[in-house]
Copies of this chain bind each other. A is one copy, B any other.
Amino acid sequence: MKLAILGSGAVGSSVAELAGEYGHEVVALADSSSAVVDDGGVDVAAALDRKSAEGAVGAADPDDALDADYDALVEATPTTLGDAQPGFGHVETALERDRHVVLANKGPVAERYGDVMDLADDSAGEVLFEATVGGAIPVLSTISDFGAGQITAARGVLNGTANFILSRMAAEGLDYEHVLAEAQDLGVAEADPTFDVDGTDAALKCVILSNVLSQGERVYSLEDADVEGIEEIPGTALDLASEDNRTVRLIGEATPDGVTVGPRLVPQNGALSVTGTRNIVQLETEHAGQLNVSGRGAGGPETASAVLADVGRLPPLE
C-alpha cells in the first residue's frame, strides 16, 4: 500500500523506516513544518537524515503530503484535546478523498469519535486505530475479532510512565517527587508529564475503548470520563498496601456505559501489577472468560508495529 505519513516523531519515523519491511511504500512524509513527497517512493533514510541535520524532512509544505497519491494516510501527529485539530482535519481530508486512515494520534477517536465514524460511513476508505490504545498490544483487533458485542468490559494499565513511577515507589520505598525526577532523567517521563500522571492519557485510551465497545450506542469524549491521577499518592500508601500483599496501579476501566481512571489496590502478584513501563489490558468476554493481553504500550517501533498491522488489515481500494 502507498502510505502518506503525517508526523515524523518517534512513531511516524518508525512507521516510515519499517514500511518497506511490511511490503508498503512511503509516498509522502511530513513533520510539522515540512514534507517530502515522491510518487516513486520517498527515500526515508535521506529524509530522516535531513530532519536530524536541518530540522526539515524535505522542501515541500506539510499540506502537500495530504494531497499526495496515497492509499492510506498514517496520522501520527501529537494528540490534541478538544477539537482534536489539526489531526481531525487530516482524517477528514483523507476520508473525503476516499482513502484509508490509520491513526496513532488519539485525539480524533477520543474527542470526536462520532464525527470520524460519520466521515468513514460516507467514504470508501476505512479508519483503523490500534496504535492509539496500548502501543504494540493488539487490544482493538482482539475486540474486533471477538466482536465488540462479546466484550463487556476492558480494564488495565494503559500508561507506562505512571506505572513506572508506581512500580519504583513500591519497590524502592521512594516518594512520588523523587521517582518522577528519576523517570525524567531516564527519559521514561517527559519534561511535562502532566497527562501521564494526572490520568488524562489513560483516560483518552479508555474513552476510545468505550467508543468501540458501545458500538455507536453512545459516544464518549474525555469530558465524560471520571479521572483521578497518581500525583497525590503518598509512599506510605504503597507501604500499607504491600503489608497486605497488594500494590497500587493506575487502572483504567472502559465499558459500553462509561469510563473511569484512578489509582486502585491490586494483588501484588496479580496480572494487573505489571512492572515498569509495560501495559496490560484485561477483556471480559461473554462466553470465554477473561483474556489478558500485555506488552509494550509505547515506543516508536512498538507503536509503529501496531500501525503497520492496521495497514495490513485494510482492503485494497477500488
Which of A's residues lie within 8 Å of B, judged by CB?
14, 18, 22, 135-138, 141-142, 145-147, 150, 269, 271, 285, 287-296, 299, 301-302, 304-306, 309, 312-313
Q: How far is the CA of A295 from the CA of B294 in the complex (A)?
A: 12
Residues in B with CB closer than 8 Å to A146 are: 138, 305, 309
Assembly stoichiometry (copies): 2
Extra contacts, 13 of them, besides A136-B291, A141-B142, A145-B309 (Cβ < 8 A), are A22-B147, A136-B289, A141-B141, A146-B309, A147-B312, A269-B269, A287-B301, A288-B295, A288-B296, A288-B301, A290-B296, A292-B293, A292-B294
Cα distance, A312 to B287, chains bound together (Å): 16
Q: How far is the CA of A295 from the CA of B290 in the complex (A)?
A: 6
* Shortest beta-carbon distance from A35 to chain B in Å: 25
Contact of A293 with B296 at beta-carbon distance under 8 Å, contacts A138-B142, A142-B138, A288-B136 already known: no
Q: Is the interface of A mostly helix, strand, loop or mixed?
A: mixed
Known contacts A22-B147, A138-B142, A141-B145; A305 and B285 CB within 8 A of each other: yes
Contact: B269 with A288, CB < 8 Å? no
Q: How far is the CA of A304 from the CA of B287 in the complex (A)?
A: 8
Asked whether, in the complex, the Cβ of A295 is within 8 Å of the Cβ of B295, the reply is no
Looking across the interface, which residue of chain B has its beta carbon closest to that of A17?
B287
A138 to B293, CA, bound (A): 9
Minimum CB–CB distance for A311 against chain B, Å: 11
Contacts of A306 in B (CB 8 A): 288
Q: Is there an interface contact between A138 and B305, defined as CB atoms closer than 8 Å?
A: no
